[in-house]
Structure 1
Amino acid sequence: MTTSPTTASPIRRVVLVGRAIIAIAILAAVIGQLITSVAFWTARGDVSIPLDLLNFFSFFTIESNVLAMVVLALLVAAQLGRPRIGRRFDVLLLCATTYMVVTGIVYNALLRGIELPQGATLGWSNEVLHLIAPLWMLIDWLLTAGKREVRFADLRIVAIYPVLWLVYTLLRGPVTLDQASGRSWWYPYPFLDPATHANGYAGVAVMCLIVAATVLLGAAALVAYARSRRRSLAPRTTDAARA
């Protein structure tokens, strides 16, 4: 039996509204920062705006937020009774939540106060993408974890995208022009730039290992919580109520 939004519990209604608001906020934040950055690059006289755009969408922050926005939109649709969602979606939600939580941790621990090379930073957009949206994804998971059918084996899936992103970033960085400084290399985050480390690539490797450990430990904690909550709840959860 499908639970309609009008008969849903207060918590489900709050979650529904929160998901819709955060999805819209992420969309507005990405567009707002993009518009601000394009204006900044144009005023700076950059030769290649397409290169700037590729760099913009090469940020893990942007990519993880776009994924979170899509996942939240699907959750809203599922909660309104549109598509059916199952375990594969639960794994996708685990990935999105992990990436967003790690984005929030890494930014606020290492990068807050540092001007990142995507152009002039739009203050409210920065807070949405690095603080508000990651916090919501964590809260959403904590509130609905009992409905998530996830396993520790899913950590292998969670790790795929960050590994591919790191490989892409480290291979592309040395051959990408930094139009702001004129340097022949460009990295989205300072801790991935060998020039910022006394030990060069060894320092980058250490940071990569730290971030990888954060991803895996974060995902493991989310899975452990979901499995604990799932065991404590009644087993009868229909697909329609899983959102």
Structure 2
Amino acid sequence: MNTIAAPRTGSLSFFTFARAALALAILAAVVATFFDTAGRAAINPFNFFGYFTMQSNIIMMLVLTGTVVMTLRGSEPSWWMVVRACATTYMVIVGLVYNTLLLGLPGGVELAWANAVLHILVPLYVLVDWLFCPDRQRLAWKTLWLVLLYPVLWCAVVLIRGASDGWVPYPFLSPSTGYGSVFFFVALIGLGTLAMGALVWWRSRLGAAETNVTGTGNANGQS
């Protein structure tokens, strides 16, 4: 398995510290939200963790933690950059959708500080990290399709649950609205993810190291 050496710079040390702090902030926000919700009503863990926002933040927490560990070790597998790009895509989507369409609307995370962490702080930091951190590597365009794996799986689970027990995380995915409408929004989710992923992949290729990450263990391919 090919690995990519992490650059030794002062700015990378700052980002490493920020990533570790943010991973802890996500953990604190998720745990606090869980117990706050459980304290007000009976909670179904499958429902609580079924939201795209919650899952994306947990994915990002794991990715941040893994990146910190690999940075401290001095290298990371070439495929990890693809994982980081996918997680970045999901979190930027969370921040963009919440702050343009859902801000101020009822529902969501009740704890104000936890809501700010999950919907504002994390997406904003992740965007800044991807734009400016010096350890970013060039991503091959042929790996872009990988960004769809998690959203497709998430939508499949939501559709199965909506058809079986009636629970959906967001009203526009409810079977009661008609499957024509549901599949329209599923397609919109897919296209939106692909478009945002394309921007993330494009940014990785600007001013980054010449190593071309294929996501298949070959760090020297061309796209």
TM-score tier (shorter): 0.7 to 0.9
> SS state of the match for residue 115, structure 2?
helix
> SS state of the match for residue 205, structure 2?
helix
> SS state of the match for residue 27, structure 1?
helix
Q: Could you tell me which runs of 5 or more consecutive residues in structure 1 were left unpaired when the two chains were aligned.
A: 43-48, 177-184, 236-243
Deviation digits for residues 151-207 of structure 1 (CA, Å, limit 9, x no counterpart): 11212111011001101101102322xxxxxxxx22111222244x5xx32222222
- Counterparts of 1:22 and 1:234 in 2: how far apart (Å)? 29
Cross-structure match for 1:63: 55
Greater share of strand: 2
Cross-structure match for 1:214: 192
Q: Could you tell me which runs of 5 or more consecutive residues in structure 2 were left unpaired when the two chains were aligned.
A: 212-223
> SS state of the match for residue 85, structure 1?
strand
Q: How many residues align?
A: 207
Cα gap change, 1:79 to 1:146, in 2 (>3 Å): closer
Any conservation in 2 of the 1:116–1:188 contact (CA below 8 Å)?
no
Tell me if 1:39 matches 2:28.
Answer: no
> SS state of the match for residue 229, structure 1?
coil
Any conservation in 1 of the 2:93–2:193 contact (CA below 8 Å)?
yes
- Counterparts of 2:197 and 2:126 in 1: how far apart (Å)? 13
Cross-structure match for 2:132: 143
Q: TM-score, normalised by structure 2?
A: 0.83
Cross-structure match for 1:179: none
* 2:96 aligned residue (97, 105, 128): 105
Cα gap change, 1:133 to 1:188, in 2 (>3 Å): same
> SS state of the match for residue 147, structure 2?
helix
Cα gap change, 1:3 to 1:189, in 2 (>3 Å): closer
Deviation digits for residues 20-79 of structure 1 (CA, Å, limit 9, x no counterpart): 11111100000010011111224xxxxxx4xx1111111111111111011111111122
Q: TM-score, normalised by structure 1?
A: 0.77
> CA shift at 1:102, angstroms?
1.1
Cross-structure match for 1:226: 204
Cross-structure match for 2:155: 166
- Counterparts of 1:187 and 1:96 in 2: how far apart (Å)? 22
Cross-structure match for 1:54: 46
Any conservation in 2 of the 1:145–1:226 contact (CA below 8 Å)?
no
- Counterparts of 1:174 and 1:116 in 2: how far apart (Å)? 23
* 1:175 aligned residue (144, 149, 164): 164
> SS state of the match for residue 170, structure 1?
helix
- Counterparts of 2:169 and 2:210 in 1: how far apart (Å)? 45
Tell me if 1:73 matches 2:65.
Answer: yes
Q: Which moves more between the two structures, 157-166 or 207-216?
A: 207-216
Any conservation in 2 of the 1:193–1:204 contact (CA below 8 Å)?
yes
- Counterparts of 2:85 and 2:152 in 1: how far apart (Å)? 16
Cross-structure match for 1:16: 16
> SS state of the match for residue 207, structure 2?
helix
Any conservation in 2 of the 1:146–1:229 contact (CA below 8 Å)?
no
> CA shift at 1:3, angstroms?
7.6
Any conservation in 2 of the 1:27–1:69 contact (CA below 8 Å)?
yes
